[in-house]
Amino acid sequence: MNPLSVARRVALGIAGLALGALFLYLALRNIDRQDFEAVLQRFDRSWLAAGVAVFMASIALRCLRWGILLRTNGAVKWRHAAEVLLAGYAANYLLPARLGEVFRADYAMRLFHINRFTALGTIFVERLCDGVILICALWTCLGILSFGGSNPIVYPSWAIASVITASAMFGLAMLFALLSDRVDLRRLGLPDFIVERWGRLTHGISSVARGHLATIILCSIGIVILEVIMLTCVARAFAAALSIPQVVVMLVLGSLSTLIPTAPGFLGTLQFVFAQVFAWFGYPESMGVVVSTTMQVFCFGGVTILGVLVLLSRSGLAVVTALRPDAKNASRPE
């Protein structure tokens, strides 16, 4: 690997850790130990078990969706698509600054023998579908909560600014996805290696348009619904009876916070956002910190364990294959 690329990734990782520490400090600065003890006394493990099960179902649906996108670019086995996605999510939860996305693209390149930028294009489509659906759901639920009740909620300016910025960002991303394959970089006189990578990237992005758009959208909607149910269950585990619009607002703002390249497992950003959202809805900030941390430990942690097991099994398979007598004989020079 290029030393400059390694240095850039290390610098990005350090910056992510620093940002995560800052947000974690902001989340915890007004909370004392007694607040946490009061929340933890309400814990109901049955709700948590249900939430973890639903989250695993959403991951299975993500595997299906990515497999559909990948299979438009070549012969990819479903189990291999699930393997790479689990490994990539585990890397995202273990590495800072969302470096797991790059890891997933590299892993896909080695396992599927497809171009890294084509894999990144399919990952971009995933994130775009999730983002557009989440933003639409967020604006709908903000309207319901702001004008549909007797006690309308007044949101802080930073939250509104974040939502507007995210809406503009995903709007531009959708425009990019629609127009990227029409841009010919050769006319700009750019080097061939840039043109080639651009072509691979746009090929991956255009995979959604090859007869599977409706299926990808339905999968994305299903994923959001399952994650809303998951978050409802985890909140219920600590006796927080949030309405569906309230859960959607918390889920979307939490998801948007993960776009910031911070600490592993999005530590810090999720605690900060959940603490603020719970406070808006009349709950103590400590409950938001506990709910977000519980989700990270049990939901994200469960996927991380599966991803690590996948990587270990793949490594073990490679070792066994290398030690086979026929493999040794094939490697000997005649």
d(CA 63, CA 32): 40
Write out the residue range of the structural domain in which residue 306 sits. 45-315
Query: What's the pLDDT at 334?
Result: 42
DSSP state, residue 226: H
pLDDT, tens digit (0-9, with 9 covering 90-100), for 297-313: 999 999 999 999 999 98
Structurally, how many domains does the chain consist of? Answer: 1
Question: Is 5 within the bounds of a domain?
Answer: no
Query: What's the pLDDT at 211?
Result: 67
The stretch 54-73 carries a mean pLDDT of 94
Measured torsion, CA atoms of residues 49, 52, 54, 58, in degrees rounded to the nearest 10: -170
202 vs 221 pLDDT, higher one: 221
Backbone φ, ψ for residue 32 (5° rounding): -110, 175
d(CA 100, CA 90): 7
Question: Is 229 within the bounds of a domain?
Answer: yes
Question: Is 328 within the bounds of a domain?
Answer: no
Which range, of 108-117, 219-228, 278-287, averages the lowest pLDDT? 108-117
Question: Is 17 within the bounds of a domain?
Answer: no
User: Which residues, including other chains, have CB under 8 Å from residue 284's CB and lie 6 or more apart?
Assistant: 31, 35, 38, 39, 278
Question: Is 7 within the bounds of a domain?
Answer: no
User: Token pair 């949030």 is at which residue?
Assistant: 242
d(CA 271, CA 289): 5
Question: Is 10 within the bounds of a domain?
Answer: no
* pTM summary value: 0.89
Query: Of 8-22, 143-157, 207-221, 244-258, which has the strongest mean pLDDT?
Result: 244-258
In three-state form (DSSP H/G/I as H, E/B as E, the rest C), the secondary structure along 33-48 is HHHHHHHHCCCCHHHH
State yes or no: pLDDT of 331 exceeds 90: no
Question: Is 326 within the bounds of a domain?
Answer: no
d(CA 195, CA 192): 5
Question: Is 333 within the bounds of a domain?
Answer: no
Query: What's the pLDDT at 333?
Result: 44
